Amino acid sequence: MRFRVFAFLLLVNAAIVFSQEEEAVTPPEGQSNQASDEWYQGKPIREIIFTGLRNISQSELDGLMNPYKGRIFNDTIFWEIQGKLYALEYFERIEPTTHRANTAGNEVVIRFTVVERPVIGRINFIGNSGLRRAELTELITSKTGDIYNFAKARTDVEAIRAKYIEKGYPDAVVRVSESQQDSTVTLSFHITENEKMSISKIEFMGNTRFSNNALKSQLSLKAKSLLNDGAFQESKLLADREALTKYYRDRGYIEAVIRDVTRTYTKDDKATNMVLTFMIEEGNEYTFGGVTFEGNIIFTSEQLDKLVTSRVGDIVNMTRVEMDLQRVADLYFENGYIFNTIMRDQNINNQSHVLSYHIIIVERSRAYIENIIILGNSKTKNHVILREIPMEPGDIFSKTKIMDAMRNLYNLQYFSTIIPDTLPGSSENLMDLVFSVEEQPTTDVQFGLTFSGSADPDTFPISGLIKWTDRNLAGSGNELGAEINSSVVDSSSVSVNYLHRWAFGLPLSLGSDISANYSKRYATMDNQPPFFYGNEEGYAFPDGFSSYEEYKNSNYTPSREYLMQYDQWYISLGLSTGYRWATFLGNIGVSGGLRFGIIQNTYDDELYRPFDPALRDGNNKWTLKNSLWFATSLDQRDVFYDPSKGYYLYNRMGLYGVFESEREHYFRNETKAQYYLTLFNFSVTEKWNFKCVLAIHVGLAFIFDQPGRELKIEDSNKLAVDGMFTGRGWSSAYRDKGYLLLDSWVELRFPLVPGILALDLFFDTAGVEDEEGSYFGTNQWGRKNFTMNQMLFSYGFGFRFTMPQFPIRLSLVKRFRVIDGELIWMNGQLFGNPNPITDPSKNWMGMDLVMSFVLSY
């Protein structure tokens, strides 16, 4: 209604203004006065200025008006400008005039003379004692310094009253008044709280089958106690009646009803106390007598019987029975018979206390999809959405495929809301399938400091970041990104990447990236005798140690004085492709790629002799570094970046070193398996559920030689427990490099803010085998390898950001090992043992704070 009034005023105002303005301007020779009255039509807009501003700054309005400068003036543009100004709700009145920008009159200046609405100078709360001023201030949307808005103030009245009802003041009355002085207004919320209703006791009458405590546990209303204020809400009482009825009917008492809830009042100095008494009529306990079907031809009665999990003779559980009957309907829906009529005839035998159902089914033709309609997308092109929907016009309707389509669309991360709907088609057996979507931003721009993601303790962990990514480039569904990352101290990188998700109209991805990296690294030396050459497996050791055993017992890490520094430069071009199929097992993916690169390690070989033979080869010259890889996956998770259910299997084989001249030659294989299960999901409020997800991960990676070639690999590329991605907390084990890595974890995930933040409890296990080729067996000397002694354990809890754009986790971690059957606690940096060496018995106390990254596959 207000919009119509504004529109009418705008029309009247414009008619008056434009009929009167510029009357003194003499029309050019040969033109009539009528033409001169609209001289501004078709002229470029030079400037838009405002007069009458007091509290609102010109710069605040410039951002709204600047896009119109330079555009050609016409009535459509003019109404659009005025509509946006009124939509701000800053002004009581707006009067426009036009002026020539110069004597030639070939540009126009629009001037708006405005009368501002007042600014809120003060907010008062009068009559409140049950709620503090701070609580009420936080509750309302009107704030000091805001432009006064009548509608917003009325909304605040309702918000305050709702809060009082929630706190147990059912008769609270709230009104608002305003007093204006010059350009400011004082808002006063007048509150009459009346008496507070507190539940002092909850009683039950008529219950013989279940105890009072059992029934109280089903209620959301609670009696007043040290932990509960006992606030009464009428809406919760209605919900509790339903909850009690459901409790009885799920335990066989299908005729149970809550006849009444009486209220008895007593008063004291602080509140009116209420005793709630639920009057229950339990009825008799019923058993289940089965389900019979009539009219079904498409599916046999035997097929439908298999969907009924409730067994004849069992105590009736009405929730389970409803699910059974819904499965019967879903079987028809899943196969496209959505126009069927399914009628339930409930039979209650009051003598034998048996409940049974007779289902009458009127079968009709299958429903075929006539059109698939997309609504709500302004950026994303229709074909980008349609290709993620595993149905086409002419297909039979399928509920499962609709759920698959929603999963696919949510995994794109383009949409915040997706709502499917069905509408009748042009004939009886046709229907239109409608997907209404709400888009969310897909362009990310990041500036600032970040953790580099390297778990190498020798690298500087903080770096400056400039990153830009568009995950839905021009609405095409493709991704373009660029990143510059530099710690200045010891690493810098720049990269550009592009991913084409659907090539040639198929679920075939094509990706490419180019990157350049510089890093300052540290390596062990072999400057002093005895000298080793790289083939002394199992007994070679670098400077700083006198034996291999001493080297191994020190986690393969000498003191800093025995480390040499070298610079590494690496430039590479990567190409990749992948294809995926949707199957009943999940999405099967096959992918592969290759990377062409050149690398150079530089150090002064007159001063340093690296212990790593791969690092000694090709010093101070560019050499090739190429690789090929191939991967397969099976994905049945609901949402890949924060799953609640499903499983994921992945295997990747990589060949590193294609040509003989390259410095490294090896194979690397990685296998991962993950499983997710929602253990429970309880509704606590209308907007929040208490939910727990069990997550299990097992990963195995190993390195082996290429056939016909000697195994050559730099230490920096060997496998390790890094304490960040694997074996949380064990960053001290990073230098314990090896050829096999076992990584597993179990987590209990509790979403706190869905889609943003979760609390995780976890237990990690990880370990490395440092001898090549003898995995889970015995080495060439007959010693068992990869034993319990090599495993690293940690457990703890942490907060995990579940946004893909911010995959950070902060955890408190406790570490331990089991050596020769003995539990060894590792001291932590926080709350730790001040004397870990002299009194190791207290090492169980300390924990470590770990920042890690969440990887999504």
DSSP string over 677-688: EEEEEEE-SSS-
Q: Is residue 62 part of a domain?
A: yes
Band (pLDDT 50/70/90 cuts) for residue 414 is very high
Query: What SS3 state is found at 593?
Result: strand
Same domain, 679 and 764: yes
**Stretch among 129-138, 394-403, 532-541, 557-566 having the lowest mean pLDDT:** 532-541
Residue 269 pLDDT greater than 50, yes or no = yes
Q: Is residue 789 part of a domain?
A: yes
What's the CA gap between 591 and 576, in Å, rounded? 7
**Stretch among 313-317, 514-518, 521-525 having the lowest mean pLDDT:** 521-525
Query: Which residues 6+ apart lie within 8 Å of 154 measured at CB?
Result: 176
Of 439, 462, 479, the one marking the end of a domain is: 439
pLDDT tens across 346-365, in order? 999 999 999 999 999 999 88
Q: Is residue 590 part of a domain?
A: no
Same domain, 131 and 111: no
Same domain, 219 and 248: yes
The pLDDT score that the predictor gives to residue 10 is 45
The residue with greater pLDDT, 76 or 634, is 634
Total domains in the chain come to 6
Amino acid at 542: P
The answer to whether the CB of 130 falls within 8 A of the CB of 169 is yes
Q: Positive or negative CA dihedral for 312, 315, 317, 320?
A: negative
Of 157, 172, 192, the one marking the end of a domain is: 192
Same domain, 392 and 327: no
Same domain, 681 and 792: yes
653, two tokens? 């084989």
Q: Is residue 696 part of a domain?
A: yes
pTM of this structure: 0.61
Give the mean pLDDT of 570-588.
92
What's the CA gap between 639 and 746, in Å, rounded? 19
Same domain, 377 and 345: no
Q: Is residue 623 part of a domain?
A: no
In sequence order, what E strands does 206-267 have?
Answer: 257-267
Same domain, 647 and 735: yes
Q: Is residue 454 part of a domain?
A: no
Average pLDDT, the chain: 86
Q: Positive or negative CA dihedral for 8, 10, 16, 18?
A: negative
Task: Give burial (CB, 10 Å; 0-12/13-18/19+) of 433.
Answer: buried
Same domain, 72 and 205: no
Same domain, 808 and 857: yes
Q: Is residue 266 part of a domain?
A: yes
Of 333, 362, 391, the one marking the end of a domain is: 362
Residue 475 pLDDT greater than 90, yes or no = yes
pLDDT tens across 736-786, in order? 888 999 999 999 999 998 888 999 999 999 999 887 766 776 766 666 777
Same domain, 268 and 411: no
Which of 754, 840, 738, 745 minimizes the C-alpha distance to 800?
754
Q: What is the dihedral of CA 239, 240, 242, 246, to 10 degrees?
A: 140
482, two tokens? 């660029």
What's the CA gap between 18 and 22, in Å, rounded? 8
Q: Is residue 380 part of a domain?
A: yes
The pLDDT score that the predictor gives to residue 202 is 95
The residue with greater pLDDT, 8 or 296, is 296
Tell me the residue range of the domain where 136 lies.
119-192
Same domain, 309 and 403: no
Query: Which residues 6+ apart lie within 8 Å of 12 measured at CB?
Result: none
CATH number of the domain residue 320 falls in: 3.10.20.310
Same domain, 112 and 124: no
pLDDT tens across 674-685, in order? 999 999 988 776
